[in-house]
Amino acid sequence: MPETAPVLQIRDLHKAYGELEVIKGVDITAHRGDVVSLIGSSGSGKSTILRCANLLEDSQQGEILFKGEPVKWKGTGHHRHPAEPKQVLRIRTNLSMVFQQFNLWSHMTILQNVMEAPVTVLGRDKDEVEAAARGYLDKVGIGDKCDVYPAQLSGGQQQRAAIARALAMEPEALLFDEPTSALDPELEQEVVRVIKALAEEGRTMMIVTHDMKMAHDVSDHVVFLHQGLIEEEGAPATLFGAPKSERLKQFLSSTDHG
């Protein structure tokens, strides 16, 4: 596959739950090093797009391409599923997801949480993974918390551990699903700082967020979704500074976008 292919490309994506169509034909592209933020009201389809991109949910129509390679499907409509489990695993391990609710294993230390998938899923050498995992925990500012359990950490620390766990997979892209929405404002800033640092490193990221200031500060491209469609998209300076659509103007006036 050509290296110039986007890391992630979504074309004409449709997703329905029964009769309810929540994504109605959406195109989103993330090239290497791009930070793409998805914004919009609750129910606009932002998180669903991310979950479909990562193949955590099946979509009914449209293409998902990872580095130019299309996902292979079998069946159509509500019976459409990925055809090759190996392909799904390969794509999913390369698009590491960071969830709103951290999803850390409570019975494992923070270090064990970060090491688990590279060792068990990717079959990497345990000593090498441990060294890398300690490095990633240092990177997100909780290197001193390796041996504690998730319940002993604040929400902000747990989310940073979840980011370290995603980084330990050495993915092609990071997908963030509302990474700060479960946090108190002062803890939110710890996580935003880490995400900004990752953006400055040139990591490819797709971020679903309600934090307009973060979307403005870290993104190369912002997509505003309304009722399952892209209402407006563009560079953050344009989208936040000179929104064209009435819906986007209303949305921004109802949120604090600092």
Q: What is the pLDDT of residues 195-253, one digit of tens each?
A: 999 999 999 999 999 999 999 999 999 999 999 999 999 999 999 999 999 999 999 99
119 domain residue, yes or no: no
Exposed/middle/buried for residue 192 (C-beta within 10 Å: 0-12, 13-18, 19+): buried
Q: pLDDT class for 102, splitting at 50, 70, 90?
A: confident
Give the domain range for residue 253. Answer: 1-91+220-258
Q: pLDDT class for 255, splitting at 50, 70, 90?
A: confident
Task: Read off the pTM.
Answer: 0.93
Q: What is the pLDDT of residues 116-166, one digit of tens each?
A: 999 998 999 999 999 999 999 999 999 999 999 999 999 999 999 999 999
59 domain residue, yes or no: yes
CATH (domain of 81): 3.40.50.300
156 domain residue, yes or no: no
Task: Tell me what the mean pLDDT of segment 10-38 comes to.
Answer: 96
Q: How many domains would you assign to the chain?
A: 1
194 domain residue, yes or no: no
Q: What is the Cα–Cα distance from 75 to 31, expressed in whole angstroms? A: 29
169 domain residue, yes or no: no
Q: Which residue has the tokens 């209402």?
A: 231
